[in-house]
């Protein structure tokens, strides 16, 4: 396979986002924009990936490293244009073999196949291939000046004539070169333009003057949408969600109201899963066949086993692992907990840092008291145990198999298997006392009205 060095440009400040968060760290489908671009470069077969960022972009470098640990970082200390930014990766392209692809880091819909459109043109004999598209509104984009299949120049919008601005074919976001051609031309780019910047697109004209073969490929507009402001971010999210919904339904997932279900970039769902309206999936969710996710549930970092029922109004947080046939009901929150086969936690409960056995029944209002202000502690509930309503299990604590915890109990000590545990004060009834209490309360209420 031909070696491919991909240089991702992410040194811009993204001021139009009106955000303290760098533009490329805003998320689409639960993944930072720059993460989508990095994944696309990897999927295209990149043997090396370089990331060019600005001087205050440590958070971007950290995020990309978490996604692609072997990425090589470079810094553009002063913004002088895209060609200048790409030249910051000289350490890698100076000895690169094969191809060099330069890609803009603010295109969250990019996929590996978009790279292949231009890389295949290099395979066919071109020296340079640029990815283009035909937007509904070409305002602001560089225009392709062509002669048949030959790309003669890329004219930036600010430098284009009125006639050139009527051209529909525009520069997208990937510029691919034979490595030796890129090396020879990158330092020849000048800055004689309205912005006094060094444009990558000028490599096209330089290559033609040098007798190189220059062409282009075309991608669908939805694949190469860039993000510069919140409106474009919302548009990219909408496109992403639309594709994911269609993919899941084609794979055998039932969505009662597709438009109200939101997926993450890594959501995994088996066939014959049913998802009701208004469900949100954060990153790290895997759902096995036959599960039903009821309306208004929020799920992230969780595994949902076969034939599990979740919700409505349930929240599964990272570390939730539900075994086959488990039932998690309305207003139940599960965090960092394993829930056993056919266990039932049906109403108004919080189960965190816990292991719940098979066929356990957890009553309404039960909570695992897992945090002491400094550390989290574990609750273990054995198979077939029954936890009565409104019980508080103060961790660390173990409830043995088959044990019964009486409703309203506060359990601070381990309960052995098959034992009955009661941890509450004894009830006292005082005959006739209710009338006295109500009378006093009524008198107090009406005395306030007289003031």
Query: pLDDT (tens digit, 0 to 9) for every residue of the chain, 451 residues total?
Result: 789 999 999 998 889 999 999 999 999 999 999 999 999 999 999 999 999 999 999 999 999 999 999 999 999 999 899 999 999 999 999 999 999 999 999 999 999 999 999 999 999 999 999 999 999 999 989 999 999 999 999 998 988 899 999 999 999 999 999 999 999 999 999 998 888 899 998 999 999 999 999 999 999 999 999 999 999 999 999 999 999 999 999 999 999 999 999 999 999 999 999 999 999 999 999 999 999 999 999 999 999 999 999 999 999 999 999 999 999 999 999 999 999 999 999 999 999 999 999 999 999 999 999 999 899 999 999 999 999 999 999 999 999 999 999 999 999 999 999 999 999 888 899 999 999 999 998 898 877 665 5
**E strands in 344-414:** 344-347, 350-356, 361-362, 367-369, 379-381, 386-387, 392-394, 397-399, 404-405, 410-411
The CA distance from 103 to 111, in Å, is: 12
Beta carbons of 286 and 306 less than 8 angstroms apart: no
The CA distance from 334 to 315, in Å, is: 6
The residue annotated as part of the active site, out of 73, 298, 347, 377, is 347
For the chain, which domains are there? 4-223 (3.90.550.10), 230-421 (2.160.10.10)
- Selection from 289, 248, 340 nearest residue 328 by Cα: 340
Buried b (16+ CB within 10 A) or exposed e, 242-264: eebbeebeeeebebeebeebbbb
Residue that has been written with the tokens 């060094």 in this structure: 198
pTM of the model: 0.89
Distances (CA, A) of 280 to 246, 264, 451: 16, 8, 53
The CA distance from 141 to 98, in Å, is: 29
CA–centroid distance for 319 within its chain? 17
347 is annotated as an active-site residue: yes
List residues bridging with 179 in a β-sheet.
none
């Amino acid at each position: 396979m031909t070696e491919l060095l991909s240089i991702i440009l992410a040194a811009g400040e993204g001021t139009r986002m009106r955000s303290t968060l760098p533009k490329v760290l805003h998320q689409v489908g639960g993944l930072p924009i720059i993460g989508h671009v990095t994944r696309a470069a990897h999927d295209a077969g990149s043997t090396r990936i370089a990331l060019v960022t600005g001087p205050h972009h440590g958070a971007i470098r950290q995020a990309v490293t978490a996604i692609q640990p072997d990425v090589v970082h470079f810094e553009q200390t002063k913004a002088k244009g895209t060609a200048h930014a790409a030249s910051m990766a000289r350490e890698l392209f100076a000895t690169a073999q094969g191809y060099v692809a330069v890609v803009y880091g603010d295109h969250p819909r990019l996929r590996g196949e978009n790279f292949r459109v231009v890389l295949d043109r290099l395979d066919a004999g071109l020296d340079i291939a640029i990815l283009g598209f035909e937007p509904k509104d070409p305002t602001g984009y560089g225009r392709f000046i062509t002669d048949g299949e030959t790309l003669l120049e890329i004219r930036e919008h600010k430098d284009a004539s009125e006639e050139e601005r009527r051209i529909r074919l525009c520069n997208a976001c990937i510029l691919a070169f034979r490595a030796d051609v890129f090396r020879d031309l990158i330092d020849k780019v000048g800055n004689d333009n309205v912005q006094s910047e060094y444009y990558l697109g000028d490599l096209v004209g330089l290559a033609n003057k040098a007798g190189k073969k220059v062409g282009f490929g075309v991608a669908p507009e939805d694949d190469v949408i860039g993000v510069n402001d919140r409106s474009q971010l919302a548009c990219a999210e909408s496109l992403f969600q639309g594709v994911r919904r269609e993919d899941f339904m084609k794979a055998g997932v039932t969505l009662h109201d597709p438009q109200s279900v939101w997926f993450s970039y890594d959501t995994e769902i088996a066939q014959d899963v049913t998802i009701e309206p208004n469900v949100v999936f954060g990153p790290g969710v895997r759902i096995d066949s036959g599960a039903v996710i009821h309306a208004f549930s929020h799920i992230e970092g969780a595994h949902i086993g076969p034939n599990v029922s979740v919700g409505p109004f349930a929240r599964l947080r990272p570390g939730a692992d539900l075994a086959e046939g488990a039932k998690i009901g309305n207003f139940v929150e599960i965090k960092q907990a394993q829930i056993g086969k056919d266990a039932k936690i049906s109403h108004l409960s919080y189960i965190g840092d816990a292991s719940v056995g098979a066929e356990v029944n957890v009553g309404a209002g039960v909570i695992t008291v897992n945090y002491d202000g400094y550390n989290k502690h574990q609750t273990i509930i054995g198979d077939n145990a029954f936890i009565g309503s409104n019980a508080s299990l103060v961790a660390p604590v173990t409830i043995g198999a088959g044990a019964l915890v009486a409703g309203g109990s506060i359990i601070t000590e381990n309960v052995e298997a098959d034992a009955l545990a009661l941890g509450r004060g004894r009830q006292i009834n005082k005959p006739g006392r209710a009338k006295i209490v109500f009378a006093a309360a009524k008198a107090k209420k009406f005395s306030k009205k007289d003031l």
